[in-house]
Amino acid sequence: VSFLSVVKKMLRGSVGRVGGIVGLTNAGILRKPQGLARMCRNGSTMPGNQARVGAVNLGKETQRRNRNVYLGKFSALMLCLIPGISAVAMDVQCEETPEHVRKWENSWKNYNGKPGFHMKTPNPCLLEYGELLFDNAHEHQKILVPLCGKTVDLILLQEMGDVCGIEVVQTAIDQFAEENQVTWSTEDLLQSAVTKFVSLKATVGNTLMIAKQDLFNLPKGWSSHSNSKSDGKFTCCWDRASLVAIAPELREKYVQVLLEELAPDATILMQVITYNKDQMQGPPYPVTPGDVEKLYGEHFDIELLDWKNITSKHERWKKNNPALTNIFESTYLLRRKQ
């Protein structure tokens, strides 16, 4: 199954059958009318569907629970979780809460369920360039989405392979479940001295998992236990606003985490922003072409796919930072060197 065919299927809005595709409730949302980003305008609404995914449960002792969450109709381009395609959540515990984790937890409390970076539909960049993610020799894809928040990109990517999102904030994971009408359940998967994984093992089809943990505190080799029918490392990674959320002093450590868990021929699709760092204080932090080369150049071939001025989309940033002149968005494809 090609990524292009999956997206085209989504845009046709085929609704009404079990495990079907949900169309748009509003007029086309994506800005670009061409390529994969072309949207239908007559769309349809989402029935009160229910899907099963895994649950995350915090605390020293795992407590099993089942929670049915139902929502009415909502205006977003989404996929119903197809019967036979499972989704799970994994809880990884650590004893101390680092400062950068506390900051993100506090930020989510202030978002009131509506973080500015969250998109109600799959990311236009992913729709346009997502097929390049799977330009590798792997028959079965294993997809990493670091700092995933509650992105609906996870559901789109699940059509192409097993997906693992990493998110440290419990609120984001809970909202993902509620907004995508899922049922939680738990099952121990792996335990060690300082971490505990809680997961619903998949039976058939592709899996969707969220690892509830600080990216920098995951044990080495954890990708082999990420509830995928493929026990190897991740074949590709979708980095949308992940690197820009990382404080500059932690970037090299972030890249090292990816290197340890990505396959030797892995691909990364990455979207970052650039602005004059003297004009605004992140996050999101600016990432220049020089930064990308410094961080990834030794291990990846770097291709710039797109570059655009997005200043007009961020009036709030300009209002809060009057000195801010321009904001640019860049999309890169990184192919790991053999």
Q: Which two tokens stand for residue 58?
A: 């915090």
pTM > 0.75: no
pLDDT at res. 324? 93
Q: What is residue 192's predicted lDDT score, i.e. its pLDDT? A: 41
> Residue 292's pLDDT is what?
98
Which amino acid type is present at position 159? E
Residue 185 has a pLDDT of: 54
HSE on the CB side for 61, CA within 13 Å?
A: 1
Question: What does residue 265 show for φ and ψ, rounded to 5 degrees?
Answer: -115, 25
Query: What was the pLDDT predicted at 220?
Result: 74
Determine how β-strand 208-212 pairs with β-strand 87-91.
Answer: parallel
Contact 52, 81 (CB under 8 A): yes
Report the C-alpha gap between 138 and 77 in whole angstroms: 28
Domain 3-336: give its CATH architecture.
3-Layer(aba) Sandwich (3.40)
pLDDT value at residue 114: 65
* Res 153: pLDDT: 93
List, for the chain, all residue ranges whose pLDDT scores fall below the cut of 50: 14-85, 90-94, 187-204
Domain coordinates of the chain in residue numbers? 3-336
Question: Which of 133, 157, 156, 94 is CA-nearest to residue 269?
Answer: 133
